[in-house]
Structure 1
Amino acid sequence: MSKTKKKPQTLRRYVLKVQSMIALIIVLSYTLVINFYFIHGLDEANFQDLHLESNDFARQYQKNIDHPMPNNIHFQGFLDWKSLPVEVREHFAAFENVKKMAMDNIRLFSEDTFISWPEQAIFVIAQPLFDGKIFYLVRKINIKQYDALSQMGISKMFQLTWPIALIFLLVMHFSVQLLLKRTLTPFYRIGDWVESLTLENVEQDTPNFEFYELTAIAVQQQKALLRLSAMLGKEQDFLRHASHELRTPIAVVKSNSELLTRIFSSENNKDKGEQSLARISRAALNMQHTTETLLWLSQEHSIEQSNQQTLALVEIDLNLMINNLVEDNAYLLQSKKVKITLKLTPTHIKVLETPCRLILNNLIRNAFQYTAEGEVIIQCSQGLVIVENINISEGDFDHSGADYGYGLGLRLVDKIVNKMHWSYQNNDASGGRKATVDFRTSI
C-alpha cells in the first residue's frame, strides 16, 4: 500500500512558524536576563550601603575606639567574631579571619512548601581595623515581612513586562509579514516569468528580480531553455536538411524506375537498363551516406571522434563525382535553355566522401535550379572546385527562403565547411553566383 505523499508547506507558513518560536524564545530569555540583572542590582545596592557604612565606621573608630556600633533597622555592627549571631557564623565561617575587606550574601529557602522560595537574605561585610580587630556589618532581610510589598512589585513588573512583550511580538510579527511580502513578490514574479517563457521569447533579456539569487535562478532557467531550443533546432535542421538532400536521389530513383519499366518492356535496351540500375544504386547509396552525414552534423562531440566512428577518409575521383552529380541533377534543367560547361582536370584527392558530395551536390543543384536561361560552368583542378551560374533570363529568383539552394542548401554547406575547415567562398557574379571550395585544406 503506497503512502500518501506529504503536501509541501508554504514558505510563508514556515517562516511565520519559525518567527513565532524565535520570538517566544527571545521573550523568555529576555525575561530571565531582566530577572538576573534585577536580583544582581539589588545585591549591588545592598553592598554599596554596607560598604559606605563600614568605611565610615572604620574612620570614626580610628579617631575614637569608643565610637558606637551602627545598629538600626537596616544593619547591625559587630566588633569581633564571637559576638556575631550563630546563623551568621555558620554560613560565613570564612570571614573569621580576613586580611582585607570581604563581602558576601546568602539566601535561606523554605523547605516545607512545594515550590522553594527564599525566606531570608543575609548580607555581610568583614573589614579589618587599624588595631587588628575585625568589624562585621550585617544586614538581614526577612522576605516574609516584605511579602505584600513584593507582591505589589511583582504585580507592577508583570503589568509592565507583558505589554512590552506583547508589543514586541506584534512588532516582530508585522515586521516579518512585511518582509515576507517584500521577498515573496519577486518569487511570484519569477514564477510568472518562467511560465511565460517560450522558444520565441527565450532570448530576450532576463528581467531584474531585485535579488541576486533569484536573478541567477532566472538566468539558469533561461540557459536551460536555450539548450532545449538548440536541441529542437538541431532536430528541425536535421529534418529539413534530410528532406532537402534526399530529394535528388529520390527523384533519380523515381525517374529511373519509370525508365526501367519502359526499358524492360523491350529487350533491345539492355544497356540503358543497366545504366538506370546503376543510377538507382548510386542514389540509394547517396541517401544512406547523406543520412549518416546529417546525423554526424547534429552530434556534439569532436570531429576527430566523429570521423573515427561514422566517416572515413577515402581517395575519390573528383571528376567522376562531379559528372555523376551533374547527371543526377539534370532533371532540373528540363525545358530550360542552359548550357553546361565542364572544365575538369584529372583529380584524385583523399577526403571525407559524403560531406564532399553533399557540398558539390548543393552547389551544382543551386546552379541548375537558379538558372532559367544561360550557362553553368563547373571547374575542377587539384582539389579546387568552382561552380558558377550565369543567368541571362529577365526573370528574377527569390534566393531568400526557397527550400532549394540559397536558403537551406547553402546553410548546410556553411555548416559542413565550418566543421571540416575547408576553404569556401560564395559571391555574387554577373547574373548569378560563383562558389569556390578548396578541399585541400581539410582537417
Structure 2
Amino acid sequence: MNIRPSIKIYFLLAMFLTGTVTIVGMSAVAVSYFFSGLDVAMTNFVRSQATEITLDGDNPVTIGELTVATRWEALPFLIQKNLNKDDLEPNVLIKEIEGIPIIDHPKRAFFAMKVVSGKKVRYAGVILDKKDKVKRGNKPPQFLYILLVAFFAMILFAVVLLLVLRKIASPVEKLKEWAKSLDEEKLSQPRPNFHYSELNTLADIVQTSLSSVQDSLDREKRFLGYASHELRTPIAVSRTNAELLRKMITKQLAQDKQLAVLDRIERAGLTMTDLTETLLWLNRQEGKSLPTSEVAVGELAEQIASELHYLLQGKTVDVSLSTDDTQLTMSAGLYRIIITNLIRNAFQHTFNGKVVIEQSNDHLSITNQNYDVDEHSETDDLGFGLGLELTEKLVRQYGWRYEVTPTAYGRKVEVIF
C-alpha cells in the first residue's frame, strides 16, 4: 500500500519524537541525579556518624539502621553476606539493592563503608528494609514523581502540539480548498485572509500565477475568435477567385483577365498576412508598434466594399461610395480590420435599403438604412458582436475618434483617424 507523504503527519511525528526524546532524556538525567544525590547523602551520613559515635572497645554500636564497628566481622551478618569486604575502599560507599527502585521501594538495601580518619579505622553498615517503610506509611518512591512529571509533560506536549498543528493546519487546509476551487470568476475576486502572512503571500502567488495563465488563455481565445472572424473574407475571396481562375484557364480566356483574378488572389493573401500580424500584435500587447505605410484610405475602402459585395446577394440594397485620394500614414492591416468590420456590419444588417460610404481626408462614415425591418433582420447578429468589439478595441487603443449614432432605419458610424 502506498502511503502518501503528508507535511502535517511528518511535522507531528517529528515534533512529538523530538519532544518525547527530550523529556525522557531530561527525566533520565533527573533520576540519575536523584540516585546520585541519595548516594552522596548516604555517604556523608555514614561517614559523619561513624566518626562521631563513641565505641566501647570492639563492641559494635547500632543506632536504628546504622551499625558502626571497628572490625568488618562485627557488622550484621546480612551486610557481610550481601557485600564483599574486598570491594571496600577508604571512605567509599558500596551498596547492594534488591528490587527495581524505579518502579517501587526496594525490598532491601545494604550499604557499607570503610571510614578512615587519621589512624582510626571504622566499618559502618546500613540495612534498609521495606517492611520498616510500610510501618511508617506506604508512600511511593520519591523518584516516581519524576517519572509521573515526565509522563504528564509528554501528554501536555502532545496536546499542545496537536492544538498548534490544528491552528496551523486549518488555514493550510483552507488555502488548499480555496486554490482547488479557483475559477475564472474567483480569480477576479479578492483572496480570503488565511491568518498567517506566509500563507497570504503564497495565496497571492497562486492567484497571480493563475490569473496570468487565465489572461493568456483569454488572449488566445480572443485571438482565435478574431482570426476566424477576420480571415473569412480574404479566404472567401481567395477561394472564389481561385475557382474563377480555374474556369478561365479551362476556357482559355484572355491573359489580362486571368492576371486580374490572380492579382485579387495575391491581395487576399497579403490581406491575410496583414490581418494575422495585426491580431498577433493586439494579442501580445507588448508595447510594440505596427509597421506603417502610406495608405490610400478611399481606394482601400472601395476595394473592401467590393470584396464584401457577396453579402448583398439576394437583397435589395443600393450602395453609394464617395471617396477622395487622401493618403494617411498608418497600419494597413489595422485600417483594413476596422473598415472591413464596419462595412460588413452594414451589409449584413441591411436587407432592403441603402448603404452610404463617405470618406473625406481622415474622416470616414458608413450609414445603413434598412427599410424592411422584419424578424430576420432583428435577430440576425452574424459577426456583429465580435466585429464591433474588435473595432472598438482597436480604435480605443489607437486613440481614434469613433461614434455610433442610431437613425430612424439603421445607424451611422463615424471614424476619424
Q: TM-score, normalised to structure 1's length?
A: 0.65
Separation of aligned partners in 2, 1:388 and 1:416: 20
Separation of aligned partners in 2, 1:146 and 1:414: 107
Matched, 1:250 2:235: yes
Matched, 1:314 2:303: no
Cα RMSD, aligned residues only: 4.1
- Kept in 1, the 8 Å contact 2:275–2:337? The answer is yes
Output the amino acid matched with 2:312: L
Matched, 1:229 2:214: yes
Match of 1:171 in 2: 156
Separation of aligned partners in 2, 1:365 and 1:254: 18
C-alpha deviation, 1:294, in angstroms = 1.2
Task: Report the CA distance shift for 1:199/1:401 in structure 2 as closer, same or farther (over 3 A).
Answer: farther
C-alpha deviation, 1:410, in angstroms = 1.4
Match of 1:196 in 2: 181
Structure 1 residues 260-318: Cα deviation after superposition (integer angstroms, max 9, x where no partner): 33434445655543332222111111011111111111114113xxx3xxx32211111
Output the amino acid matched with 2:357: I
Where 2:364 maps in the other structure, the secondary structure is: strand
Where 1:298 maps in the other structure, the secondary structure is: helix
Match of 1:426 in 2: 404
Where 2:143 maps in the other structure, the secondary structure is: helix
- Kept in 2, the 8 Å contact 1:16–1:176? The answer is no
Separation of aligned partners in 2, 1:401 and 1:13: 63
Match of 2:326 in 1: 347
C-alpha deviation, 1:330, in angstroms = 0.6
Structure 1 residues 192-223: Cα deviation after superposition (integer angstroms, max 9, x where no partner): 33333344654455445454433443343233
Match of 2:146 in 1: 161
Q: Report the more deviating stretch, 204-213 or 326-335.
A: 204-213
Structure 1 residues 77-104: Cα deviation after superposition (integer angstroms, max 9, x where no partner): xxxxxxxxxxxxxxxxxxxxxxxxxxxx
Match of 1:409 in 2: 387
Match of 1:382 in 2: 361
Aligned-residue sequence identity (percent) comes to 30
- Kept in 2, the 8 Å contact 1:319–1:345? The answer is yes
Match of 2:67 in 1: none
- Kept in 2, the 8 Å contact 1:372–1:391? The answer is yes
Separation of aligned partners in 1, 2:271 and 2:191: 45
Task: Report the CA distance shift for 1:351/1:224 in structure 2 as closer, same or farther (over 3 A).
Answer: same
Separation of aligned partners in 1, 2:375 and 2:176: 50
Task: Report the CA distance shift for 1:371/1:398 in structure 2 as closer, same or farther (over 3 A).
Answer: closer
Where 1:375 maps in the other structure, the secondary structure is: strand
Output the amino acid matched with 1:257: A
Partner residue of 1:22 out of 19, 22, 29:
19
Partner residue of 1:284 out of 269, 275, 278:
269
C-alpha deviation, 1:249, in angstroms = 0.9
Give the number of aligned pairs. Answer: 341
Task: Report the CA distance shift for 1:214/1:402 in structure 2 as closer, same or farther (over 3 A).
Answer: farther
C-alpha deviation, 1:185, in angstroms = 3.3
Q: Report the more deviating stretch, 22-31 or 187-196.
A: 22-31
Output the amino acid matched with 2:340: N
Separation of aligned partners in 2, 1:350 and 1:109: 113
Separation of aligned partners in 2, 1:202 and 1:187: 19
Where 1:335 maps in the other structure, the secondary structure is: coil
Separation of aligned partners in 2, 1:319 and 1:300: 29
Task: Report the CA distance shift for 1:155/1:260 in structure 2 as closer, same or farther (over 3 A).
Answer: same
Structure 1 residues 31-75: Cα deviation after superposition (integer angstroms, max 9, x where no partner): 8689999x99xxxxxxxxxxxxxxxxxxxxxxxxxxxxxxx99xx
Output the amino acid matched with 1:168: A
- Kept in 1, the 8 Å contact 2:298–2:326? The answer is yes
Output the amino acid matched with 1:180: L
Match of 1:47 in 2: none
Separation of aligned partners in 2, 1:315 and 1:295: 22
| 5+ residue gaps, structure 2 | 38-47, 53-89, 96-112, 115-123, 134-138
Output the amino acid matched with 1:408: L
Output the amino acid matched with 2:260: Q
Partner residue of 1:213 out of 198, 201, 222:
198
Q: TM-score, normalised to structure 2's length?
A: 0.68
Separation of aligned partners in 2, 1:223 and 1:337: 54
Query: What does 1:322-401 correspond to in 2, within 5 Å?
Result: 322-396=301-375
Task: Report the CA distance shift for 1:15/1:400 in structure 2 as closer, same or farther (over 3 A).
Answer: farther
Task: Report the CA distance shift for 1:267/1:110 in structure 2 as closer, same or farther (over 3 A).
Answer: same
| 5+ residue gaps, structure 1 | 1-5, 41-71, 77-107, 114-118, 121-143
C-alpha deviation, 1:425, in angstroms = 2.6
Match of 1:53 in 2: none
Output the amino acid matched with 1:221: V
Output the amino acid matched with 1:231: S
